[in-house]
A and B are shown apart, each in its own frame.
Chain A
Amino acid sequence: MNFLNVYEEITVPFSERPMMIWFEGDEKKNCNAEGFRAFTDSAAAYLEKVFSDIPKGRWIGLKSRNHPMWYPVFFALEKIGYPVLLLDENIDSLALESFCRQAKLAGIVSEKDESTENIICCKISDILFSSCEKPENICWEYRVAFCTSGTTGNAKIFVFHADSVIEQSRRVRESLISQEKIFSEIDVSSCLVIQTLPQRHCLGFGLTMLVLPWGLSVILPEKEGIFSVADTCRKHGVFCLCTVPAIWKGLFRMAQARFGNCGSESMHKLLGEKMLLAVSAGARLNETLWEKAMDSGLTFLNGWGMTETGFVSIGNVSDDKSVDYVGKLVGGHETEILSPDENNFGELAVNGSIVYQSVLVDGEEIPRDNGEFYRTGDIFSLDDGRYYFRGRRKSVLIREDGENIYLDELESHFSFLENEQFCVFEHNEQPALVFYSQKDVTEEITEKLRTVNYSLPVQKRISKFYCSNIPLPMTSKGETARYYMSSYINENSENIREIVLYRQ
C-alpha cells in the first residue's frame, strides 16, 4: 500500500461536489476531485523538474502554513516518489538544520528560499503559478514523517506508512459511528468541517485524512484569527469544528461577551445553526472548559493521542462524570497501564499498527520494534474500557493551544548558564527558569537571558526568571529536581528573587 491508496480514498467521494473550499479576498473558491487531481498533477510535473537531480526515496520537507494547495503539493511529492517530512513553518534555522540532518533532507518546498549547499529548495508560490500538465515518472511513495515540537537541536521525527494512515482513518470513523448517535441521524456526506489546525501537524493531517474519505468537505477560515473561525462557521454552515482547548476557550468567551452566556443558544448564534459536532484535542480540557463543553448544546468529543501514537481514544464528554475522561480506544492499539499504584494510576504504554513505524535519526531510518510497547509518558487509569488521563510523567509542558514544550530542550538554549546550577520548570502552567548564584546578577547575564528568550517562538518563551542564593534541590540521581521547583520557589521566597528582564 502507498499514498495512491490514500489519494483515492480522499478524492473518490467528491466527483460532483466541492472537496476543499477556501477564500481569496472576498471570493469563495473550491475544487472537486477533478480539480484536486489537476492541481496535484501540475504540482508533480513542476516538482519533478525542480528535483530531477534528487534520487527517488530521499526525504523532501514541506514547510508551509495552511493553504488550499497544501495537500495537492503533498500528494504531488508522494506521487513522484518522495517521502514527505512535514515541517512547522515557524521553526527557526537551528531547528530546521537539525531536522534536515536527521532526515538527510535532499529538498524542501517552502514559502521562502531555504536552499543550502545540500538542499534544493522550491518555493511554493512557484508551484502555484506553474501550469504543467502531468508528471512523466509516477512512482508513489508510502511514507510520511511528522516532527514533534523542535524547540532546539533535539529534533524527533516519526515515520508513518500509508496503510497506517488509512487504518487510523477507518478505525476512528468506525469508532465514532458506533459511539455517537449523531452519525446515524445526519447524512454527513453533505457537511462541512473547518480546518483550523496546522495541516503539517499529526492532528490537522489526521483530521483531513479522517473526514475526506467520509465525504465531508473541508473549508479553510476566510481570514486569520479566531473571529474569522467563528464567522466562517456561521456564514458557511459548518457542521464540525475540531480544535485545541485554547480556541474553544476563546470561542466560549466570545459567546459570553456577545450574548451574555455560552450556552447552547449562544454557541449556535456564534457558530451557526448547522454546527453540531465539536472536537477538542491536542491538549487537556480543564474543568472550566469541560463544564462549558457540557453546556454548549454541541456533541462535544474529547480524545487523546500523540504524534508517536496517532489517535488512541475518543469519547463524548457527556458520557462520563469525570473531567479526565478521554474516551474509549479507537482500535488498532493494544494498551497496558504500567506499574499501577493503589488508585490504578500508571503510565500508559501502547502498541499496534497505528503506532509510528520508524524514526529518523542522523539520516538513518530505524524501524520500531513491533514487539515492544511504546511508553507514552502519560499517566492514565482504565475502567471498563474507559480511559482517564491523569497527568504527565515526562518533562513536557503542554499548553492549552496544544503546543508541546520540552523543558529539557528549552534548557539547552540557556547553556551559557552551565557553570551555575539551573533548570527550566513548569510554574503556573508556563515555563520558568531558575539558577543558583551567590553573586549579583550582572547586566550582561540579564541581557543574555533576554536575547536568548526573544530568539524563541513567542509561545515557548520563559515567562519568569529566578535567581536563588541557596542551592537548588536535587533528585536521588543527582539531577536538579524539576518537579519540585515550583513549590520550592514559593517556599523560599526570601532566598529566591525574580529577575525582571523587561523594565527597570
Chain B
Amino acid sequence: MKINIEEVKETIRGVLLELMEEDAVAKISDNDFFAEEMGIGSMTIVQIFVTCQEKYNVDLSNEIQLSEPMSIQTLAETVVKKAEQ
C-alpha cells in the first residue's frame, strides 16, 4: 500500500493535538524526539503508535518499545516503509 509520508505526519500531529495543548504541539518539529526531547508521556506515545497501526494496518509492536529515539519524521518513515513491505 502506498502511503504519503505527509499524511502520516498529519495523523501523528492529530493525535498529539487531541492529547496535548496546541501551543506545545506547535513547538514540536518533525525531528524532535518524543520522549527524550519533548518529554511526551508513555500514554500519548502508545496512542500515537496504536493510531498509526490501525489507520495504516502496520505492525509497530517492536518500535513501540522505543529502543531508539523516535520523532514524527522517523515514525512516519517507519510507517511508510512497513506499509510498502
Chain A residues with a Cβ under 8 A of chain B: 223-228, 246-247, 250, 253-254, 257-258, 399-401, 430, 454, 458-459, 461, 463, 501-502
Contact = CB atoms under 8 A, between A and B. Distances in A.
A227 B47 CA distance: 7
B72 to A, nearest CB: 15
B5 interface: no
Interface string B19-52: 1110000000000010111010111111100110
A463 B43 contact: no
Given A253-B20, A454-B68, A463-B39, A225 B51 contact: yes
Contact of B42 (A254, A454, A458, A502): A458
A40 to B, nearest CB: 30
A463 B34 CA distance: 11
Given A225-B51, A254-B18, A430-B39, 10 more contacts: A226-B47, A228-B50, A246-B41, A253-B19, A454-B67, A459-B41, A501-B36, A502-B36, A502-B37, A502-B69
Contacts of A257: 17-19
Contacts of B39: 430, 463
Contacts of A254: 18-19
B3 interface: no
B64 to A, nearest CB: 9
A368 to B, nearest CB: 33
Contact of A224 (B36, B50, B66): B50
A226 B19 contact: yes
B35 to A, nearest CB: 6
B21 A253 contact: yes
Residue among B21, B50, B51, B67 facing the most chain A CB atoms (10 A cut-off): B50
Contacts of B65: 458
B50 A502 contact: no
Give 10 closest A-B pairs by Cβ, nearest first.
A225-B50, A225-B47, A257-B18, A458-B66, A459-B42, A250-B19, A224-B50, A246-B43, A254-B18, A226-B47
Nearest to B35: A458
Contact of B46 (A225, A253, A461): A225
21 contacts: A223-B50, A223-B54, A225-B46, A226-B19, A226-B43, A226-B44, A227-B50, A227-B51, A246-B41, A250-B43, A253-B18, A253-B19, A253-B20, A254-B18, A257-B18, A430-B39, A458-B42, A458-B45, A459-B42, A461-B35, A461-B36
